[in-house]
Amino acid sequence: MGTMTVRAGTPLQAVQEAADKAGFLFALDLGARGSCTIGGVIATNAGGNRVIRYGMAREHILGLEVVLPDGQIVTSLNKLIKNNAGYDLKQLFIGSEGTLGVVTRAVLRLQPAPASTTAALVGCSGFDKVPAILAAARTQFGPSLSAFEAMWPDFYDFMVANIPASGSPLGGKHGLYLLVEASEFEAGREVERLENMLAALMQAGVIEDAVVARSNGESKTLWSIREGVSEYRRLLGKVVSFDIGLQTASIGQFVEEVRTALSQRWPGILSHFYGHIGDSNLHIVTNLPAADATAQKADITRLVYDRVRKAGGTVSAEHGIGTQKLPYLSYSRTSAEVALMALIKRALDPRNIMNTGKVLPLG
Amino acid sequence: MGTMTVRAGTPLQAVQEAADKAGFLFALDLGARGSCTIGGVIATNAGGNRVIRYGMAREHILGLEVVLPDGQIVTSLNKLIKNNAGYDLKQLFIGSEGTLGVVTRAVLRLQPAPASTTAALVGCSGFDKVPAILAAARTQFGPSLSAFEAMWPDFYDFMVANIPASGSPLGGKHGLYLLVEASEFEAGREVERLENMLAALMQAGVIEDAVVARSNGESKTLWSIREGVSEYRRLLGKVVSFDIGLQTASIGQFVEEVRTALSQRWPGILSHFYGHIGDSNLHIVTNLPAADATAQKADITRLVYDRVRKAGGTVSAEHGIGTQKLPYLSYSRTSAEVALMALIKRALDPRNIMNTGKVLPLG
């Protein structure tokens, strides 16, 4: 284990590269790595591609320096894995979106770097096959399973058609596409294990097709389809996007219901479903073809969140609440929970000057 | 991944057994598993034997139900890995030793169960060899390294002599003993990998001797020496024990300095050093042979904590503050940190009725 102390404004990618140079891995990774800062990652408790293996931002932070609303600086740059001397103050600031204080520096936890990492792209008939595939991957790899992403066909076909130089690495069409990644500490062993696992799943009729990357370049190509999401605004113009959490088993049914409801109300609407399915995290993107895009966005938002509430899910798995999801916080939190959040906010920021209007419905 | 919702009074061992029956692993483990409750584990953010692989109690908890000081019940029994809808309230109650509320129920995170787990006992000449051995274990096993414990000879010899049916599994005497455990998802593979790693370390002259357990029973025997700590009060009567955190690299020097200082001041005193060294966590136990045991305990405590403060360590890695370490909280926390803790305490418990007098120096 290593540690690294950085300023909050350091870009995530710079942190990853510095860790790499030091022979370690800073394991938090997400598509916006080039533009997001580590301070933003901490304030939002960001997730990303490797939560299944390494956890969210919270699990990568050992210490923080924070400026409180009254101007006091709390320097709590702990470097120890275990430190139970009093309350773990950093937990208050991680994920509270800047409403309790401003993070200025952080001590990051670095992981031993795996010897090699390989992705496989898998095609199967539909979501009903996911539990068996996920169970096989967990049993085969345990903690070496570093990503388990799903892409529904609308999403997959759109990206393959629009992201240059990709094209589908699989021959045929499938009901669902999975990106499975494993990281091993014996170089090359993850390739052999991925191939064994996929061959067994193929023979058992659970999956229809699969391709295992033979190089880092091939892995990047497989990931590029999933990471095409950064191109949405360029390709579709106005969109509405969601970041919801649901029990994994219920996600398949949820996707079908939402897609049907959307296309019944707005025939021809594009609805794309994908996500960190191994972490019960589903993303949805739709375009906004109606004349009144603002009204349509509000209607789609209610349509989706009403179903999230009914399913006992969360309106924010990893992107936080901000202002856009503020009206829906109560869909995923009880009034007692919100009251306790407000009590903490008032205690730390009685004048309500830190990121005012975000996260909490304060009177 | 699985989840399990339990009452706070459930013993840890009952949780482990229920998880096992369901085909999962509840990965938090410590010597007091038979007597401690899951509520206590949460209140103290307990650590234990497998922190190096699975983290402290905090990382095993998805949701909590808590009774606040004003009698309000906050039911926040989240089951999702990722949930960024507002502040992560459970973090306040984990590790705050009952001073902010009473945990009544918890949603636990279960891990996939590894196929097999094997321990090895290693003898080396002294602590200066630890960095190389730990680096080899991390590089060989990555996340499959599930424990890395150190025992100094005073501790080891005492346990081997006093814990029935153990006896030393190693032939000779060594300057330091290590218990290294690996868990693999391919049955038996951890044995092969442990043997390969230890053979290479032996050939390189880093370690002097090693034995790899060939069965669960043999693993238990190796662990029984380390777990002899539960017999301390029976074997030594009055003792004083410490749970400190230090940067791993500085632990060897720290042990020598403390041992020397203790034996210079109290010739013949027993001082035992052992701990979760892979997590930078050192335990110390000494007996109290002086006529005035209370005064001696206070003197030893100051002797140890003065050195912890100088080294920038923590007076509590995993056992919390309670009342005994309250006078030493400021050795490991700045006044700004303690002031922020007190602010939170006053906000949640203005009448100071929850575990009054613990953790914080409130006026």
Residues of B in contact with A142 (CB under 8 A): 112, 114, 143-144, 183-185
Q: Tell me which of A24, A56, A78, A81 to substitute to probe the interface with B (most B C-beta atoms closer than 10 Å).
A: A81
Report the pLDDT value the prediction gives residue A363, as an integer from 0 to 100: 66
- Choose among B133, B131, B115, B114: nearest CA to B123: B133
- Residue-averaged pLDDT of chain A: 95
Q: Which of A73, A82, A333 sits opposite B86 (nearest CB)?
A: A333
Q: pLDDT-based confidence at B363, cuts 50/70/90? A: low
β-strand B102-112 against B61-67: which pairing, if any? antiparallel
DSSP bridge pairs for B111: B25
B67 in A contact zone (CB under 8 Å): no
pLDDT tens-place string over residues A3-27 = 999 999 999 999 999 999 999 999 9
Q: Decide if domain B116-229 falls under CATH 3.30.70.2190.
A: yes
> How many A-B residue pairs are in contact by the CB < 8 A criterion?
221
Which segments of chain B belong to CATH 3.30.70.2740? 237-332
Interface check A335 vs B, CB under 8 A: no
Instruction: From B279, B84, B8, B30, select the one nearest A316 (Cα to Cα).
Output: B84
Alpha carbon distance B142, B120 (integer Å): 16
ipTM of the complex: 0.94
CATH 3.30.465.10 region(s) of chain A?
2-112
- Under an 8 A CB cutoff, do A139 and B84 touch? no
Q: Which of A34, A29, A68 is nearest to A52 (CA)?
A: A29
Chain A interface includes B146 (CB < 8 A): no
Contact A288, A240 (CB under 8 A): yes
pLDDT digits (tens, 9 = 90+) for B264-292: 999 999 999 999 999 999 999 999 999 99
Q: CA–CA separation, A106 vs A110, rounded Å?
A: 12
Answer whether B143 sits within 8 Å of A53, measured CB to CB.
yes
A47/B360 Cβ within 8 A? no
- CATH 3.30.70.2190 maps onto chain A at 116-229
Q: For B74, name the nearest residue in chain A, comparing CA atoms only.
A: A336
pTM, to two decimals: 0.95
For residue range A79-134, what is the model confidence (pLDDT) as tens digits? Answer: 999 999 999 999 999 999 999 999 999 999 999 999 999 999 999 999 999 999 99
Chain A contact for B281 (CB, 8 A cutoff): yes
Q: Answer whether B344 touches A (CB < 8 Å).
A: yes
Distant-in-sequence contacts of B345-348, Cβ < 8 A, 24+ apart: B345/B99, B345/B100, B346/A347, B347/A343, B347/A344, B347/A346, B347/A347, B348/A343, B348/B68, B348/B69, B348/B92, B348/B100, B348/B101
Residue A305, SS3? helix
Contacts B78 to A, Cβ<8 Å: 314
Residue of A nearest to B246 (CA): A80
Measure Cα distances from A338 to A322, A330, A333, B108 in Å.
15, 8, 7, 22
Q: What is the mean pLDDT of residues B310-335?
A: 96
Q: What is the pLDDT at residue A230?
A: 87
The answer to whether residue B252 scores a pLDDT higher than 90 is: yes
Is A245's CB within 8 Å of B80's CB? Answer: yes
More confident residue, B236 or B314: B314
* CB-based contact, B307 to chain A, within 8 Å: no
The CATH number assigned to the domain with range B2-112 reads: 3.30.465.10
Architecture of domain A237-332: 2-Layer Sandwich (3.30)
Spatial CA neighbour of A182 closest among A120, A117, A121: A117
Chain A residues close to B55, C-beta within 8 Å: 59
Least CA distance to B248: which residue of chain A?
A80
Summarize pLDDT for B158-186 with one digit per residue, the tens.
Answer: 999 998 776 899 989 999 999 999 998 88
Tokens 């009144």 belong to A292
Check CB contact under 8 Å for B74 and A336: yes
Instruction: Assess whether pLDDT exceeds 90 at residue A340.
Output: yes
Determine the average pLDDT of the residues in A160-168. Answer: 83
